[in-house]
Structure 1
Amino acid sequence: MTTTTHPLTFERQDQGEETARADLYGLLATLFNAPPSQALIDTIASAQSEGDGVLEKAWADLVAVCKSADAYIVRDEYELLFLGVGKPEVMLYGSYYLSGFLMEKPLAALRTDLSMLGLERVGTVVESEDHIASLCEVMRYLIASDDVMHANLATQKTFFSDHMQAWVEDMCTALEQHPSTVFYQPVTQLARAFFTVEMQAFDMS
């Protein structure tokens, strides 16, 4: 994508809800795009975690896991789950969950919509545009961008509904049920909780 994942920032009391949403989409994009560095793991581990809601609980669980996580072990887990030789253990691509195959019609439709938003994959990006990290990054852009023509709630709702809502829960289930998921267990639970909150909020908008 033409946008890149920004440095991780966490919600402060003077930040609005929209900034917090953008930050969380950015964090999920970073964690699903590549195994996290030890610096990122330590940053999450030092973050505040309070509140008793489902999303807050999921965040607290990730913070707790990061307190003892080792980047080298997490890298091994990432490579086992998402890379591997041949077919990955768990797919992170929308087309796979929507059609059963990669590079199918859902990806073509996504590329059309991205083009209308003025977004395209940069040459250095290997993954196709329907990778969960790329989609989270697009959502971050649609929330954080100053482009009022494209970055607005209606566009966010349409993009999420058209390209994420139908399959992200299936992806989360696949990850949660995989026996090798350790670090990515709380990551996935955070993603599921956040996506559920987004769906509910969009339904009310």
Structure 2
Amino acid sequence: MAEELARAEVYGLLAELFYAPPRGELFEQLRVAVTEAPTAGAFLETHWSEVVGAARRLSWAEINDEFVALFGGVGKPEVCVYGSFYLAGFLNQQPLVNLRQDLQGLGLERPPGVLETEDHIASVCEVMRYLIAGDDAGVSNLAGQQRFFNMHLRAWAERFCEALAEHPRADFYRAVAVFARDFFAVEAQGFDLLEV
């Protein structure tokens, strides 16, 4: 159960960081976060340490400016955060339609006032968090997590992370991207074991 909670927390953290720069309490939590894993040599330990190190080294204003430079601004952002772009080459394509159908089947919909489409990396991470930590065992179970991950995250998350990590303006978000890439790889391996 502790492992499931940890997975849900990582998805929740990634959702927050990819939706907006870390503000207030989250920024302070990152700056004082533990960097040593409970098990020595854990796969994600090094890249998590880099996320924490970047939060300690940079000011909130610097991270905010980086977020705006990478994901904001007028027109096309420097790094696209939408799955349709990576899967179909354009925004608002069939992958978004498929995702919306699956979200409807889960009883989920985009909240009023949210402008980003459901294939935003933050939104997809938030759905994974829900599928892990939700109370409805009919929805929140390993089979549902595996299906959603394979259908809506696996095919494009690595490309998104690589594009972000390689961007010359990325510093804090380079660390986040590398950590996210490795976390998604661990998730993929775990889900592959379910198929054996």
Q: Check the 8 A contact 2:35/2:45 in 1, yes or no.
A: yes
Alpha-carbon deviation of 1:38? Answer: 4.1
Larger relative helix fraction: 2
1:143-162 superposed matches below 5 A: 143-162=132-151
Alpha-carbon deviation of 1:187? Answer: 0.5
Q: Which moved more, 1:40-49 or 1:151-160?
A: 40-49
- What per-residue deviation string (whole Å, max 9, x for no partner) do you get for residues 92-144 of structure 1? 10000000000000000000000000000011211100000000000000000
1:3 aligns to what? Answer: none
| Aligned equivalents of 1:151, 1:27: Cα separation in 2 | 19
1:120 aligns to what? Answer: 109
2:187 aligns to what? Answer: 198
Alpha-carbon deviation of 1:176? Answer: 1.1
Alpha-carbon deviation of 1:53? Answer: 2.6
Q: Check the 8 A contact 2:82/2:119 in 1, yes or no.
A: yes
Alpha-carbon deviation of 1:56? Answer: 1.3
**1:44 and 2:33 are equivalent in the alignment:** no
| Aligned equivalents of 1:49, 1:32: Cα separation in 2 | 21
- Give RMSD over aligned pairs: 1.0
| Aligned equivalents of 2:119, 2:94: Cα separation in 1 | 11
2:5 aligns to what? Answer: 19
SS in 1 for 2:160: helix
1:1-205 superposed matches below 5 A: 16-50=2-36, 51-205=40-194
1:10 aligns to what? Answer: none
- Which structure 1 residue ranges, 5 or more long, are not aligned? 1-14
Percent of aligned positions with the same letter in both sequences?
51
Alpha-carbon deviation of 1:84? Answer: 1.8
Alpha-carbon deviation of 1:153? Answer: 0.2
| Aligned equivalents of 1:64, 1:176: Cα separation in 2 | 16
Give the length in aligned residue pairs: 191
| Aligned equivalents of 2:61, 2:129: Cα separation in 1 | 28
SS in 1 for 2:191: helix
- Which structure 2 residue ranges, 5 or more long, are not aligned? none
| Aligned equivalents of 2:182, 2:57: Cα separation in 1 | 23
Q: Check the 8 A contact 1:172/1:188 in 2, yes or no.
A: yes
Moved over 3 A (4+): none
When normalised by structure 1's length, the TM-score is: 0.91
When normalised by structure 2's length, the TM-score is: 0.95
| Aligned equivalents of 1:81, 1:127: Cα separation in 2 | 16
Read off the aligned partner of 2:116 and give its amino acid letter.
E
- What per-residue deviation string (whole Å, max 9, x for no partner) do you get for residues 26-74 of structure 1? 0000000011114312201211111423311111111111112211111
Q: Check the 8 A contact 1:91/1:171 in 2, yes or no.
A: yes
